[in-house]
Amino acid sequence: MSARQLLAAEGGNEFQAPGTEIFEWGPLWHGAPSWLTKPTLIVALSVIIVCGFFWAAFSKPKLVPRGVQNVGEVGYLFVRDQLARPLIGKDGDKWMPFLMSTFFFILVMNLMGVVPVMQLPAPSHIAFAIVPAAVVYVLMIFLSIKEQGLVGYFRNMMFPPGLPAWLYVILSPIELLSNIILRPFTHAVRLFANMFAGHLIIAFFATVAYWFLFEKLTPLGASLGLLGFVMTIIMTAFEIFVQALQAFIFTLLAASYIGGALHPDH
């Protein structure tokens, strides 16, 4: 039982907008291990869905594709032609395993926000956004140093050639800050915040609808409740778009960081 439901039951006579407490989930049942919560269950389910789907699609690939393999190939070609090749280059295909895993894992975790019963995008818990962002960050640093050398990496990053000398005074610290310190945070927080806000908005409109149409049905409030109901539907559709878009953007940035590490000149 969630905190929101608890509140709905004991909230009194005043309308209470949902807050961060809707993201707090205890163990699934009384006495279950503390890590076994609804978010972790959603993540586990996402793992099963992603692995199951690609197992069905790619475990016995045929030269002439049939059924699920077709769908899987469409996904593969989408990630390859929209992300890997444009952002990494000719060697982009080598990074397809990582980009495919990242994109579809995050996509499914995000879409869990609109799946009935689940209705929680897993990256709205920042930990599930930090994990892939951290992997990308470590990968980026490792590849940059491997490809450009430790000194070369920082020189390419902080002192790009062809600028007036005084500009480096401003540019170099900014570049260092944005590349090394802010990048992993923005990467993770962008995903997290979008999922968090989206879930909160849907929860808000759903609560409005529930409160004014069921809890306290009044002639005046009914229209407000109806508006909340319609907005819930509209925002759910919008969230599907945002969830897919954020999965795409997250992977796009990952590919761009990898590409930048491998080919620092552009």
Partner 1 sequence: MSKLLAAAVAAEEGGHGNPLLPHASELVFGSIAFAIVLILVGWKLVPQIQKTLAERTEAIEGGLKRAEAAQEEAKETLEAYKRQLAEARHDAARLREEAKEQGAQIIAEMREQAQEEARRIIEAAHAQIEADRQQALQQLRAEIGALAVELAGRVVGESLQDSARQSRVVDRFLEELEERARTQERISS
Q: Does 19 bind partner 1 (CB under 8 A)?
A: yes
Task: Based on the shown chain and the rule CB under 8 A, indicate whether residue 186 belongs to the binding site for partner 1.
Answer: no
Tell me how far apart the alpha carbons of residues 89 and 83 are, in angstroms, rounded to a whole number.
Answer: 9
CA gyration radius, the chain: 23
Of residues 202, 193, 185, 206, the one with CA closest to residue 125: 193
Residue 15 interacts with partner 1 (CB under 8 A): yes or no: no
Q: Which of 32, 71, 74, 127 binds partner 1 (CB under 8 A)?
A: 127
Tell me if 210 contacts partner 1 by CB under 8 A.
no
Q: Choose one: 165-173, 189-197, 216-224, 246-254; the region binding partner 1 (CB under 8 A).
A: 189-197
Q: Does 101 engage in binding with partner 1 (CB under 8 A)?
A: yes
* Residue from 29, 30, 31, 39 in contact with partner 1 (CB under 8 A): 39
Q: Tokens 């509140």 map to which residue?
A: 7
37 by DSSP, 3-state: which? strand
User: DSSP state, 184?
Assistant: H
| Count of residues that interact with partner 1, criterion CB under 8 A | 57
CB contact set of 239 (below 8 Å; sequence gap of 6+): 113, 114, 198, 199, 201, 202
User: Quick one: which of 29, 30, 31, 34 contacts partner 1 (CB under 8 A)?
Assistant: 34
Instruction: Give yes or no for residue 98 binding partner 1 (CB under 8 A).
Output: yes
Total Cβ atoms within 10 A of residue 266: 6
CB of 147 vs partner 1, minimal distance in Å = 21
CA angle 248, 254, 256 (to 5 degrees): 100
User: CA-to-CA distance for 81 and 75, rounded, in angstroms?
Assistant: 10
Asked if 51 touches partner 1 (CB under 8 A), the answer is yes
Closer residue to partner 1 in complex, CB, 26/264: 26
149 φ/ψ sector (left φ>0, alpha ψ -120 to 50, else beta): left
Calculated CA dihedral for residues 103, 118, 121, 240, nearest 10 degrees: 70
Does 264 engage in binding with partner 1 (CB under 8 A)? Answer: no
- Is residue 93 within the footprint of partner 1 (CB under 8 A)? yes
DSSP 64: S
Nearer to partner 1, 23 or 153 (CB): 23
Which residues form the interface with partner 1 (CB under 8 A)?
3, 6-7, 10-12, 16, 19-21, 23-27, 34-35, 39-40, 43-44, 46-47, 50-51, 54-55, 57-59, 61-63, 69, 72-73, 76, 93, 96-98, 100-101, 104-105, 124-128, 130-132, 135, 189, 192, 196
